[in-house]
Amino acid sequence: MSLAIRPFRPADLSVLQEITLSAFPGVSLDQTIEEKFGEQNGHDWRWRKARHIELETTANPAGAFVAEEHGRIVAYVTTSLDRAAGNGRIANLAVIAELRGRGVGRQLIAHALAWFRAEGLGYALIESMSHNEVGRGLYASVGFQEIGQLVHYAMKL
């Protein structure tokens, strides 16, 4: 596999959103909320999840990276930095279905971690839904340690 990782470009956004929507069914907090309460403000979970990618790439375009194979976008990672706290957060990571399990996500995480180090940060953070077994296995395999569990609550107003 000939994989190249490069910085995000605004023209990439729609492809990243498509990859997101194919990667997150069953492991998205937004989907879980929708299953419990229905659509929010006239938008389904897919719209909200795609919007996350737009917000993340707008807020920190320098911390978004795209993986390409033969010029085709096949995966991405988005990040955020908290310089005062000394940490970087991997916000979203997604790989097209045909390349999952082939190390693409691992390479993107390594790229994000190298970027955090170059930015002078001392810690990296990532979150996963408890039932996202693939994500949790990947994160542990690259050195992340589980430090706690978060319970999400929601209510309809």
Class of the CATH-defined domain 3-141:
alpha beta
Average pLDDT of the residues of the chain: 95
The reported pTM is 0.93
pLDDT over 90 percentage in the chain: 85
d(C-alpha 7, C-alpha 33), whole Å: 32
Q: Give the per-residue pLDDT at 132.
A: 85
Average pLDDT over residues 115-119: 98
Q: Is 24 left (phi over 0), alpha (psi -120 to 50) or beta?
A: alpha
